[in-house]
Structure 1
């Protein structure tokens, strides 16, 4: 039949697409699903790796690392394992993202905002921390959202659970980062002016002290985007990969960090 050659070519193209979808990394679908939680819909045997995703309303697809875990499928929004990728960057870099999705990177505030703005979904943030002594800890926050640029990508988190402590709200009153906009070296949105460190040190903004972009209120709480420090030289620095409710009062810079998000079940009143 005259239609058979065209049909055969279509089937071959579909088989090639399926072959790409089952690889550990690489795009799984033209355009991509809206976030990593949909990956198994497109690729039932897909493993953890880099895939193309495209949130609803977003104008283009982009690469993200999808972590297939026992407690869900997560979209990684930040990863640190060393100092090769610099995180002391300006607003445009944090807005659009930088680094490598398969390695150390910041996914981008615009992309995170696009994923979490859908009010029909609830989102969970998970923070994983690894130290230089072989230990690890985690923090999870329900109802995670990031506003759009008009809000300076304002952070919103709900109930905390985990083993690392609630460093976003702080180890003591007055340093709650929930509800604050994002700050970078050239875009100061922190909650202090001037900012006081250790009772007698004044700085103009938290990024002068913590370096990397973050949702600062004051300058002595969580920040996982500061300078990375190697083993033996990772304690006592102003700037670092800090989660102060985890390791006590002395500034401890983590060996590695990861931040990732996944949709929760729709909110139900009890």
Structure 2
């Protein structure tokens, strides 16, 4: 019995050491974002932003212009983006492929410091463009994950502030088909009356009557990518007819 008691005590001691050094489910060893992963190759890493309840996987893009945490990626139509509020809140898809990281994760990350947002766009003709914004931030759920961005630079145009008057998306909450925060009551586009931008453009986004940026709508293949109200749209790029991008990526890095 004494041997068994001693063995039990040893196992308890080892268990306590394991938990104290981060071996349990509350592991705090994961970096808070991709910028804490130096000299690595682009790929999927485990991160845990300060104040977030658990660690999760994110794609880290290591490039000449910095280390970025990818929050959205589209390369085709296999992953559906026409989803409900809960899906956009928590995230969906595959970190190594097409995905949306999750509004709650993005909100917690962007509370801690100043961030830069980069939007990359690729067209079907072999071209590309980008838009960068200083001071990117997403509010918490009580604000409907309200969007805030600062100064723009890039080659794609400032579609968040809008290609047309009155559709600035800054300060608007996020909308999905089951949670409407788009400011349309209703909106009129020519002879089309729109009650919800998610019905007109599809997907979840920071819609504003309905706005000229929307990268989470339906993906359209080559030959069917021009002229749709739905699509991966950046209205200040490849117009004047609505142009649905071949691929998109959104990613953030500390300023």
Same fold by TM-score greater than 0.5: yes
Q: Does residue 76 of structure 2 align to residue 85 of structure 1?
A: no
Q: Which residue of 2 aligns with 1:227?
A: 218
Instruction: Give the drift of 1:249.
Output: 2.2
Gap regions ≥5 residues in structure 1: 1-28, 265-270
The 3 A distance-change label for structure 1 pair 31 and 97 is farther
Q: Is the 8 A contact 2:70 2:249 kept in 1?
A: yes
Instruction: Give the drift of 1:195.
Output: 1.7
Instruction: Give the drift of 1:218.
Output: 1.1
Match of 2:149 among 130, 153, 157: 157
Provide the rounded CA distance (Å) in 2 between the counterparts of 1:39 and 1:193: 46
Q: Which residue of 1 aligns with 2:199?
A: 208
Q: Which residue of 2 aligns with 1:256?
A: 247
Greater Rg over alpha carbons, structure: 2
Q: Which residue of 1 aligns with 2:183?
A: 191
Q: Is the 8 A contact 2:214 2:234 kept in 1?
A: yes
Q: Does residue 193 of structure 2 align to residue 236 of structure 1?
A: no
Q: Does residue 110 of structure 2 align to residue 116 of structure 1?
A: yes
Give the alignment's Cα RMSD to 1 decimal: 1.0
TM-score, scaled relative to structure 2: 0.88
Q: Is the 8 A contact 2:169 2:211 kept in 1?
A: no
Q: Does residue 101 of structure 2 align to residue 107 of structure 1?
A: yes
Q: Is the 8 A contact 1:242 1:253 kept in 2?
A: yes
Provide the rounded CA distance (Å) in 2 between the counterparts of 1:172 and 1:233: 24
Q: Does residue 179 of structure 2 align to residue 181 of structure 1?
A: no
TM-score, scaled relative to structure 1: 0.83
Q: Is the 8 A contact 1:122 1:263 kept in 2?
A: yes
Task: Classify the secondary structure of the residue corresponding to 1:37.
Answer: helix
Over residues 68-96 of structure 1, what are the superposed CA-to-partner deviations in whole Å (9 max), with x where a residue is unaligned?
A: 01111000000000000000000000000
Task: Classify the secondary structure of the residue corresponding to 2:170.
Answer: coil
Instruction: Give the drift of 1:234.
Output: 0.4
Over residues 183-241 of structure 1, what are the superposed CA-to-partner deviations in whole Å (9 max), with x where a residue is unaligned?
A: 001000002210222x2211211001011000000124110000000001100111000
What count of residue pairs does the alignment treat as equivalent?
Answer: 229
Q: Which residue of 2 aligns with 1:20?
A: none
